[in-house]
């Protein structure tokens, strides 16, 4: 079995797995089987799903429309995953990860328990854009080849803040005058 580290760098999951269950509370007679494969960007994707009615009842199109497929894939991935723990860095600068021990996993669960997994919008204020600009300029001054990635890691800081959000924040910081215009020949963000 091949394991994949997801983009949050904290989760290890099999590269392909299956899950089954009863996805709808009001239809306990319907069973769903999912096949999930992690794509080249580390995103779990459904490659096959099958609905089965245990008692031979019909499955109508309305039942299919009510299936929260994205949520089911996300939940199945959480069940199939293990926590990854950073064990150090090689002399070549490559991080070494391993699957957490039960004690490490328990501590990680306690740490994230009570935090919301719902996406929250970051309120874009002048102070926030100033923070983005300072982080971006500091990363450039330190010679970073990817200052926007630094913004994503330092200011986003949460698993649900993507690089694309950070790129948008940098663009807004430029438009509002907190950052100078991008240099021609270099990426804008």
The pair of structure tokens assigned to 124 is: 């874009």
For 155-177, the pLDDT digits (tens) are 876 444 577 888 899 999 999 99
Closest CA to 112 of 5, 6, 8: 8
- Judge whether 116 and 125 are in contact, CB under 8 Å: no
What's the whole-number mean pLDDT along residues 140-145? 86
DSSP conformation class of 28: T
DSSP H or E stretch at residue 17: strand 16-21
pLDDT tens readout for residues 52-109: 998 888 888 988 888 888 888 888 888 777 766 667 777 877 766 666 776 776 666 5
Task: Yes or no: say if 46 and 69 are a contact pair by the CB < 8 Å rule.
Answer: yes
Q: What percent of the chain has pLDDT over 70?
A: 75
Backbone angles phi, psi at 143, to 5 degrees: 85, 15
Contacts of 7 (CB under 8 A, 6+ apart): 41, 42, 43
SS3 21: strand
- Please name each of the domains of the chain with its CATH number: 1-115 (no CATH), 118-189 (1.10.10)
Count of H-run helices and E-run strands, the chain? 6, 7
> Who contacts 105 (Cβ-Cβ below 8 Å, separation ≥6)?
82, 83
């Amino acid at each position: 079995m091949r394991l994949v580290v997801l983009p949050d760098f904290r989760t290890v999951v099999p590269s392909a797995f299956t899950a089954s269950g009863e996805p709808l509370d009001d239809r306990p007679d319907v069973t769903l089987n999912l096949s999930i494969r992690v794509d080249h960007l580390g995103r779990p994707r459904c490659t096959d799903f099958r609905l089965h009615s245990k008692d031979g009842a019909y499955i109508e199109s309305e039942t299919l429309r009510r299936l929260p497929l994205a949520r089911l894939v996300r939940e199945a991935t959480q069940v199939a995953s293990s926590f990854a723990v950073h064990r150090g860095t090689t002399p070549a600068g490559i991080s070494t990860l391993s699957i957490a021990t039960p004690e490490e996993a328990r501590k990680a669960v306690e740490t994230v328990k009570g935090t919301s997994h719902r996406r929250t919008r970051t309120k874009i204020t002048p102070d926030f854009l100033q923070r983005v600009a300072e982080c971006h300029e500091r990363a450039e001054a330190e010679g970073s080849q990817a200052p926007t990635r630094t913004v994503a890691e330092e200011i986003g800081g949460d698993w649900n803040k993507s690089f694309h959000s950070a790129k948008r924040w940098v663009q807004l910081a430029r438009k509002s005058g907190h950052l100078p215009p991008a240099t021609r020949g270099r990426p804008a963000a």
